[in-house]
Structure 1
């Protein structure tokens, strides 16, 4: 078997060993914590130290791996804003690295994949090809090149054996859900992993991704606020598209200006709500590594491996439910929630209690200006996760219908990025323009 077919599976034993170290490490730290409590240290201090050590190990391991481990790490990274600052600080840098960095493929493997996908004369298609990757992600890496017509292009190449590694990692990680619970209280990671597994086939199909990118590029061609690079060529494991320069959102999150933060946040919201109406697709991977802020102030979108097909646009009931809730029409909200399956048959809930539960979550669209902050997201996460709160009890009675699962996950993920950006702006106006049912 050639090296190009072994680059990921070859290290499967080492990968499994690294993943297996997560629950073992957690168990060891818990034992250490019991000892420290017995020696007189306060329980809260011990818990905080254990959480910090778990975070450091978790993201150190995820950062060394491709496949499902890195994919999960990238997905979790958008929820970093919900973690208390004293816990988030030690591993924020590792989370950012997960968004855009990974160990590169050997050059000979890169060339072998290009020959297999683009033909033995693949070099003739390029004036220049840079063997050093410009970026790497969970299932592929990107190289900068010059196409034969002189255009600067990005060449996205899938890791050989990515499918095997991706599924093996996700199956393994599903068994370690309790480790993640220590870092993200109230978040059930198992459904998140199940959803990632369900979407693996789509993300591995670069032909499907290229089609989605073409669809987005056509919908936003010439748009003054959002830019999508055009696809130049594609194959099952390679996509060549126009190169897009810009400031990565991870850099704006780290040290961007107020203007950059607000601009990026508002345009992210616009992409989220306008995509289904304009392209019939929802961009479903809202982590900062997928976005750039261009020199002329547009939001550049560079990855379309995860999209949801919404040919009829955003479901109208979402906008209508938000409109009823903002107007305080508790009974109408309850009726629509039941009709859409958010409340199962036989479950009794108080209509006003539902409004009390939803109210704080609607703050971003109550007025013409809202400031997304980590503190706000941490407050909401704590409110719905604390079993002593009525909001938490009510939340457990609500159901998330399958048709809304991905929309919900992408919306929450996007909000997480807005909080990392510390973005402020008129987000209500975006919904008024693009969300069906939000206005009469």
Structure 2
């Protein structure tokens, strides 16, 4: 064995009763934080159509810790709905959900060993020359272990937390109640479509057989070239709760922001990711929608980007593809009428919205497309565009301009674009977006 057995980490609550108990503890923390007056106000809210309750930083910390311990749907919602603190969430909700994004804990050996025996059989260890008990990564749905098989293959084993798949529906129902309590969304905005889409996506991500198929399909589309590497699936070591694939070396892509790496490396990585995002939408019509930086590795020796985690892979309907093409064209041409029509088609705007809200939204969209209109290399490191977008978005939020959520399929695709732009900013990279967009427009 290459590592000592894992001793740290708290057991993942694996039964519905256990998970309900932990959420109950979170609710107790919430109740203690808001007091009797807050509880009375909460009881009078009905469907949550009022201002969010006020919580102290200490209460937020306890609540986030309780929810992070549960992993699964609760933690995944934090990853889906918080992005750099600038989504259309209340600041309080963004604080909780943002804290959940990087709080994954590994499961202890007392849970890992029985799971391996259930999936691989009593003498499972004989199938391996080496097995690393300490995970190399842990997230909301499972954790990843490195192993060498008896016949010499080097694998990454993605092992699902016990009970997570079975608890998705009950977790989402309970999270819906909690979201109304803390006022996740602006007044008048219906959170249900987002929760329904998150529920569907979580069921998909917990289906490792479907992820294996998506990984194979994506690998065929990307090919085996000098720019990207998609690990191959190993079906004989994959089960319903374990996904086995090639172990790929590389560093987390956002580490290229460190001073040890050159500007050329940062530019190459950012341009490859942006190129891939456009190919996903306009060529593949198949998009890995999770914008987490952890889904990308960079190989400094080969210059290739390694693509990981295909649980959130979705086909894109032709209407959405054409809608984004029309929106990008209109934004680059600064055609406000066409931008408005495209925004309605994609669900980002209502036809009956007040004119002042429409104009404010179009101003924000024009601002957001600045890098698409810039001729030549756009220097994300020298730009304050994200601050300007955030400041303007906060102003519109406070004015009540965000009164609806777009169609979930558009929303998560939008977040993929946002994640790619944020990576460019993190790497302080230079990207010629009009040049990359030209073949598709």
TM-score by length of 1: 0.76
Measure the CA separation in 2 of the matches of 1:52 and 1:375.
29
Paired position in structure 1 for 2:179: 177
Q: Give yes or no for the alignment of 1:11 onto 2:18.
A: yes
Q: How far apart are 1:235 and its partner, in Å?
A: 2.2
CA contact (8 A) 1:128 1:146 kept: yes
Q: How far apart are 1:162 and its partner, in Å?
A: 0.9
Q: Deviations over 1:92-134 (max 9, x none)?
A: 9956633xx3132435x43433343345554444322222222
Measure the CA separation in 2 of the matches of 1:213 and 1:405.
23
Cα 1:399–1:172, aligned 2, differ >3 Å: closer, same or farther? closer
Q: Give yes or no for the alignment of 1:265 onto 2:270.
A: yes
Paired position in structure 1 for 2:366: 359
Paired position in structure 2 for 1:384: 393
TM-score by length of 2: 0.76
Q: Deviations over 1:217-273 (max 9, x none)?
A: 222232222211111122221111000121124545677746354444333322322
* Secondary structure of 1:20's aligned partner: helix
Pairs aligned (count): 409
Measure the CA separation in 1 of the matches of 2:279 and 2:319.
8
Q: How far apart are 1:313 and its partner, in Å?
A: 9.9
Paired position in structure 2 for 1:24: 31
Instruction: Note the 1:20-419 alignment, pairs <5 A.
Output: 20-21=27-28, 23-24=30-31, 26-27=33-34, 53=58, 56-76=61-81, 78-80=83-85, 97-98=102-103, 101-107=104-110, 109-120=111-122, 122-177=124-179, 191-233=193-235, 234-249=238-253, 251-252=255-256, 257=261, 259=263, 260-295=265-300, 296-310=302-316, 315-338=321-344, 342-347=348-353, 349=355, 355-367=362-374, 368=376, 369-371=378-380, 376-387=385-396, 393=401, 396=403, 400-401=406-407, 403-419=409-425
Measure the CA separation in 1 of the matches of 2:118 and 2:425.
43
Measure the CA separation in 1 of the matches of 2:266 and 2:101.
16
Q: How far apart are 1:144 and its partner, in Å?
A: 0.6
Question: Which 5+ residue runs of structure 1 have no aligned equivalent?
Answer: 32-48
Q: How far apart are 1:196 and its partner, in Å?
A: 1.1
Measure the CA separation in 2 of the matches of 1:18 and 1:226.
45
Cα 1:358–1:97, aligned 2, differ >3 Å: closer, same or farther? closer
Q: Deviations over 1:11-36 (max 9, x none)?
A: 325421343145336525998xxxxx
CA contact (8 A) 1:7 1:105 kept: no
CA contact (8 A) 1:220 1:226 kept: yes
Measure the CA separation in 1 of the matches of 2:97 and 2:255.
13
Q: How far apart are 1:182 and its partner, in Å?
A: 7.7
Question: Which 5+ residue runs of structure 2 have no aligned equivalent?
Answer: 1-10, 39-53
* Secondary structure of 1:27's aligned partner: helix
Measure the CA separation in 1 of the matches of 2:397 and 2:109.
53
Q: Deviations over 1:116-168 (max 9, x none)?
A: 33455544443222222222111211111012332211011112211233333
Q: How far apart are 1:170 and its partner, in Å?
A: 2.6
